[in-house]
Amino acid sequence: MAALVTSAAAATLVMVARASRGRWEGAAGGAAQAQTLTRRAAPMVERNTLVYRKALATLRESSEETGGEGRDLRLGATLYAAAEVPLAIAEVAADVAELAAAMARHAVPDRRADAAASAVLAEGAVRAATTLVGVNLTATTGDPRVVRANVLSQAARSAAQRALDRVY
């Protein structure tokens, strides 16, 4: 879900930038950045689904097995891999939130609310992905990926607030 929301937020920014051409010098660059972010987010929708299904299957299989080092290693590797996709989603979504904040400042006035909405959606996607990083890892708060996801979440929250401040 977070990847889908991220992709939609980035696609909205493409429209915001295109609507601002001729009145915002950075519109073409903003549109190109938003297109790149859309392309980065779109494949993560399916990738996340595949990783999630694999993790569920491994968890099911491991619950049917009796202990053993092989089972523990497989389970650990699967949970570790399952955390990588939401972290990648959080990275892209944080970039979308930052771009949206810039567009809320520079885009034509009648599209700034769309940019702010994209920032809020991207922030929500980062927060959702951050939660999944921690859950998939079953890790401590000191795990570097959990720390990174939390930093991204804070950055996205700040970007969303800056975008909203331009609208209200």
Which domains are seen in the chain, by residue range? 2-167 (1.20.120.680)
- What would the mean pLDDT of 45-52 be, rounded to a whole number? 90
Are 51 and 141 in contact by the 8 Å Cβ rule? The answer is no
pLDDT above 90: residue 85: yes
pLDDT (0 to 100) of residue 139: 60
pLDDT above 80: residue 118: yes
- What would the mean pLDDT of 98-112 be, rounded to a whole number? 97
Greater pLDDT, 59 or 21: 21
pLDDT (0 to 100) of residue 137: 63
Cα torsion 36, 42, 44, 46 to 10°: value is -160
For residue 47, the SS3 value is helix
Alpha-carbon torsion (141, 93, 89, 3), positive or negative: positive
With cut-offs at 50, 70 and 90, classify the pLDDT of residue 138. Answer: low
With a pLDDT cut of 90, the percent of the chain lying above it is: 70
Q: Could you read off the pLDDT of 51-80 as tens digits, one per residue?
A: 888 888 887 877 776 666 777 787 778 878
Phi and psi at 104, nearest 5°, equal -65, -25
- What would the mean pLDDT of 139-147 be, rounded to a whole number? 81
pLDDT (0 to 100) of residue 68: 64
- What would the mean pLDDT of 1-14 be, rounded to a whole number? 97
